[in-house]
Structure 1
Amino acid sequence: MWRNRNVWIILLGEFVVGLGLWAGIIGNLAFMQEVVPSDFHKSLIISCGILAGLVVGPMAGRIIDQSKKKTVVQMASIGRIISVLFMFIALYTNSVIWMILFLITLQIAAAFYMPALQSIIPMIAKEQDLITLNAWQMNARTISRIIGTAAAGFMLSFFELKWLYIISFIVYLGMFVITSLLQLDEASTETMTNKEKGNFKEVLPMIKEHPVVLMTLVLMLIPTLFLGSFNLVIMKISEIHQSTTISGLLYTVEGIGFMLGAAGLKMIADRVQMGTLLFSLAFIIGSMELLLLLAETPFFALVAFGVFGFSVGCFFPTTMVIFQKQVPKQFHGRFFSFRNMIDSVVFQIVLLSTGMMLDLIGLSGMGLVFGIISLSLTTTFLFYAKKKNVVMHAH
């Protein structure tokens, strides 16, 4: 696998685009602090971009299935380059409207880029290497998040805000150049019939025909409960302990745990059956949500985030392999667009629910609710899989 140039292009591209993305996110927060006084208005501005990504999701999935994946990725890179130009105008005019255009364009580009990338991975890797490539792709994303946020925060201390977007612009140009080097055999895409290309509505019947895909989609809700509440929970723990140091430790422990999980996944997957692994990870993640009941003790808070990071580092690449192998290839673009849309909607619902529960029942109550939901879902689908004799594997 490591001799395949396409693998290195994908991993390098994921790392590079992550640097640009996180530099832009830190820049957006700094810009909004200067021109948008209301926290509610800030959340509405961010939601505009997310909503745009949801709206174009069905069209993006259909286009990805009908077009060459490399072309889609390159066009998405051009979309990101154009989006940064809007942000330069926003900085020059001090206008929120141009920033909203930046966010909308960026999210539309992401709505095409991510599903196309997830469709490319099974095209460039052998079946036995899929789990390793998916794990390292997520590791590249995690490393870029750590380096990108740290570097952007450092730069803001010494340089003007515009330099973050200059770097983003250069990075996205680099991404376009890197993806142009991809060598994919996409002749089969051109010979697909119109019926095979289909429309977005055909995704739901396809999911119903594949119970493994449906179960995996539902099980993905479990880590999303923790991820959607991630930043708010860390802020709450920091507030409980009246320490900003612990928030940095929690981010660090989770990031290290994630990378260790992704790096060691191949070794674990070789020894544990895919279905057993997925349900075990779901149980562990649900248990870590329950462990937030003891978050007033720093040790238990760090354990919860560290074990969660390791479990998610194994969980997401495993689910991705199941999707890439179980979903028919002619549905990959539409399905991954559909999955990204679900992620966005659930993430927003969890975020709002977390804020409400932290106000009403506190961190312990929220951990109890999320833990019970997660363990109940896992148990229900485990019994369903055994009753229906559903075999969960990646082949």
Structure 2
Amino acid sequence: MWKNKNVWILLTGEFIAGLGLWMGIIGNLEFMQEHIPSDFMKSIVLFLGLLAGVFVGPLAGKVIDSYSKKKVLIYSGIGRTLSVIFMFLALYFESITFMIVFMIVIQISAAFYFPAIQAVIPLIVEDQDLIQMNGVHMNVATLARVLGTALAGVLLVVMNISFLYIGSMVAYIFILITTYSLKFDEAVSTTRGNKKNSSFKEIIPILRETPIVLTALILTIIPLLFIGGFNLMVINISELQGDPSIKGLLYTVEGLSFMIGAFFVKRITHYFKPINLMFAFAFVISIAHLSLFFSDSKMMSLFSFGLFGLGVGCFFPIAATIFQTKIDKQFHGRFFSFRNMLDRVMFQVVLLSTGLLLDTIGIRYMVIVFGVFSLASVIYFVLRHYRQTPHKHNVVEKDVI
């Protein structure tokens, strides 16, 4: 795998783009903290961008399966680069409206870009290397997040917020250039002549025929209950503790823990069934959510985010590999767009709920509500899974990874 030029191009581009992405996100949080006092209104602004991404999801899936994935990456990269212009306008005019336009454009670009990346990975590495590639890819993205947020924190102290978005635009231009260097063979189904056969509705019967994929999709709700309110919780914990520097520390601890988890999970997938591992790490994520009840303590909040990072670092590579290996490649564009839509819808629900609950009952009781729901969901799906497959308890199954 490491001799594959495409792997290095993809990982290098992901790292540079990740730096720019997270510098921009920290800039967004800073801008909203200055101009939007209500947590619920902050969640509304984030919601509008995500909603635009959901609307274009079916189109994105069909386009990815009907046309060249490389071209999809290039055009969505151009859209992401140009979106930063609207944020410069938002800064100049101190306008929330321009920020919303920025969020909409960048999320529409992301609705094409990220499913296309997930569909490209199985085309550039062998199946036996997928879990390693997924883990490394996520680790590179996480390392970029840690360094990007740390760099953004330093730049905010010594420079104007606009420099964060300059850095973002430079990073997006860089990944656009690296995307042109990718070279891989695409299946016949991605050609223009097959676009009429790529119905988005074909995903539903495929999910019914592959129960492990459906279960994995449902389980992704658990980490999304934490991720959906991640940024708002970071802001709230910072205000609760009266310590602006805790924001960078929380991102750093969670990111480093994620990297450890993604490295660790490769070592244990040969000994346990993937679905059992997903149940276990979903449970860990639930405990991390509940432990944020003590978020007024600096050490406990860092512990909670670290535990969460470890859980999702193990959870997501397993889920990604199940999706890539159990779904036929000709459906990857539509499936990953469908998953992207599902994630965005859940993200929006959690985001709005987080903003509302933070304004009404506060972070300590909000995490109890979400944590109990997460824990109850894990227990329910575990019991449901083993009731439906009682004959498998004494059967050794072939590992899907």
TM over 0.5: yes
Secondary structure of the residue aligned to 1:377 is helix
User: Partner of 2:63 in structure 1?
Assistant: 63
Q: Within 5 Å, give how 1:204-219 maps onto structure 2.
A: 204-219=204-219
Cα distance in 2 for partners of 1:394, 1:138 equals 20
1:88 deviates by 4.0
Cα distance in 1 for partners of 2:90, 2:248 equals 31
Number of aligned pairs?
395
Show structure 2 runs of 5+ residues with no match.
none
Cα distance in 1 for partners of 2:202, 2:27 equals 39
User: Partner of 1:224 in structure 2?
Assistant: 224
User: Partner of 1:252 in structure 2?
Assistant: 252
Cα distance in 1 for partners of 2:252, 2:109 equals 29
User: Partner of 1:383 in structure 2?
Assistant: 383
Cα distance in 1 for partners of 2:33, 2:296 equals 31
1:184 deviates by 0.9
Cα distance in 2 for partners of 1:65, 1:133 equals 22
Q: Structure 1-normalised TM-score?
A: 0.88
Are residues 235 and 105 of structure 1, via their aligned partners in 2, closer, same or farther at CA, if it must alter by over 3 Å? closer
Q: Structure 2-normalised TM-score?
A: 0.87
Cα distance in 2 for partners of 1:41, 1:367 equals 19
Is contact 1:72–1:112 with CA below 8 Å preserved after alignment?
Answer: yes
Is contact 1:65–1:197 with CA below 8 Å preserved after alignment?
Answer: no
User: Partner of 1:2 in structure 2?
Assistant: 2
Secondary structure of the residue aligned to 1:182 is coil
User: Partner of 1:125 in structure 2?
Assistant: 125
Are residues 55 and 94 of structure 1, via their aligned partners in 2, closer, same or farther at CA, if it must alter by over 3 Å? same
Tell me, yes or no, if structure 1 residue 181 matches structure 2 residue 187. Answer: no
1:238 deviates by 4.8
User: Partner of 1:344 in structure 2?
Assistant: 344
Tell me, yes or no, if structure 1 residue 394 matches structure 2 residue 391. Answer: no
CA RMSD of aligned residues (A): 2.9
Tell me, yes or no, if structure 1 residue 27 matches structure 2 residue 33. Answer: no
Are residues 158 and 283 of structure 1, via their aligned partners in 2, closer, same or farther at CA, if it must alter by over 3 Å? closer
- 1:104-155 residue CA offsets vs partner (Å, 9 max, x unmatched): 2211111100000000111111112111111111111111112222222322
1:230 deviates by 2.9
Secondary structure of the residue aligned to 1:114 is helix
Cα distance in 2 for partners of 1:262, 1:203 equals 28
Moved more, 83-92 or 322-331: 83-92
User: Partner of 1:319 in structure 2?
Assistant: 319
- Structure 1 residue identity aligned to 2:400: A
User: Partner of 2:13 in structure 1?
Assistant: 13
Cα distance in 1 for partners of 2:161, 2:289 equals 37
Cα distance in 2 for partners of 1:299, 1:120 equals 40
User: Partner of 1:280 in structure 2?
Assistant: 280
Moved more, 350-359 or 178-187: 350-359
1:306 deviates by 1.9
Is contact 1:322–1:393 with CA below 8 Å preserved after alignment?
Answer: no
Is contact 2:115–2:336 with CA below 8 Å preserved after alignment?
Answer: yes
Q: Within 5 Å, give how 1:262-277 maps onto structure 2.
A: 262-277=262-277
User: Partner of 1:370 in structure 2?
Assistant: 370
1:323 deviates by 0.8
Cα distance in 1 for partners of 2:215, 2:180 equals 36
Moved more, 75-84 or 369-378: 369-378
- 1:265-313 residue CA offsets vs partner (Å, 9 max, x unmatched): 2112233221221111122222333333455565544433222211110
Are residues 62 and 161 of structure 1, via their aligned partners in 2, closer, same or farther at CA, if it must alter by over 3 Å? same
Identity of aligned residues (%): 49
Are residues 377 and 117 of structure 1, via their aligned partners in 2, closer, same or farther at CA, if it must alter by over 3 Å? same
Is contact 1:275–1:393 with CA below 8 Å preserved after alignment?
Answer: no
Is contact 1:57–1:111 with CA below 8 Å preserved after alignment?
Answer: yes
- Structure 2 residue identity aligned to 1:181: S
Moved more, 169-178 or 301-310: 301-310
1:69 deviates by 0.9
Cα distance in 1 for partners of 2:143, 2:62 equals 31
1:362 deviates by 4.8
Is contact 1:212–1:392 with CA below 8 Å preserved after alignment?
Answer: no
1:157 deviates by 3.3
Are residues 310 and 28 of structure 1, via their aligned partners in 2, closer, same or farther at CA, if it must alter by over 3 Å? closer
- 1:332-369 residue CA offsets vs partner (Å, 9 max, x unmatched): 11111111122122122223323444455554543433
Cα distance in 2 for partners of 1:244, 1:93 equals 26
